[in-house]
Amino acid sequence: MVARASALVLDFGGVISKTLFETHPSTEAALGLPAGTLTWRGPFDEASDPLWVSMQRGEISERDYWLTRSREVGRLLGEDWPDMQTLVRRARGADPATAIRPEADRAIRMVGDAGFKLAILSNELDLFYGADFRHRLPLLGRFDVIVDATYTGILKPDPRAYHDVVSRLSLDPQACVFVDDQSRNIAGARDCGLTTVLFDVKNPRRSYAEALAHFDLSFD
C-alpha cells in the first residue's frame, strides 16, 4: 500500500486540461481552418514537431514554444496574435470546461470530498487562459491554493515555486503529491522532497490512478 498523503498538487495545462495537441480538430473547427491544418503534435508525435523536441532539450522555454505556435496560427488567419492567451481563447471559446480531462474532474472531486487539500502549481495559468478564467471554470473553486507564476514570476523547476505551494498548504513537502507532465518539473519537485507523479498525457487515467493511490483512493 502506498503511504497516504495530505495534499494533491497539480499542474494545470496537460494535467487538468487537455493539451492543445489533443484538440486540434476542435481548434480547426473553431477557427474555420481546414481539417488537418495543424500538424504539430508535441509528445504525441515528436517527429512532427522539432520545436517541441527543442523545448524538451531546454533550448527554449515552454512559454517560447507556445508563443511561436500562437503566432503561427494567427498568421494562418491573417492576424497578429501577441500571446498564447489569444490562441486559447479563440480555440476553446466561451466554455473552457469542455477541455477539462474527465479523469481530472473525477480525481479532484474524489480527493477533495475525502477531506484532503488541493492545490495548483502553474507556470502560466492566467498568462495563457486569462485573468477571468477561474470565474468561468467552477472546478477551480475546489482548490485550497493556486500558485501561478503569472504573478509570482517564479517558474518551475525553481525550488522556490515548490517551497511556496508547500508553505501555503502548511504541510511538509513529503505530504504533498505533485503531478506534472514535464520531466524537469517533476525532477525539481522531487529534489524539494515532494512525492511526484510524472503525468502521461497519452494515458491520463493511469497517471491519475497512480496519484490517487497515495490517498488510498481508486477509480474502481
Domain boundaries, the chain: 7-17+100-213, 24-96
Bridging pattern class, strands 7-10 and 117-122: parallel
Average pLDDT over residues 2-31: 91
For residue 183, pLDDT over 90 is answered with: yes
For residue 117, pLDDT over 80 is answered with: yes
Average pLDDT over residues 160-185: 97
Of the chain, the percentage scoring pLDDT greater than 70 comes to 98
Q: CA distances (Å), 160 to each of 67, 72, 101, in order?
A: 25, 33, 28
Compare 127 and 192 and report the one with higher pLDDT: 192
Q: Which pLDDT does position 127 carry in this prediction?
A: 86
The pLDDT confidence band at residue 1, using thresholds 50, 70 and 90, is: very low
C-alpha cell of residue 220: 474502481
For residue 181, pLDDT over 80 is answered with: yes
The pLDDT confidence band at residue 94, using thresholds 50, 70 and 90, is: low
**Residue whose C-alpha cell reads 502521461 in the numeric block:** 200
Query: Among 3.40.50.1820, 3.20.20.10, 3.40.50.1010, 3.40.50.1000, what is the CATH number of 7-17+100-213?
Result: 3.40.50.1000
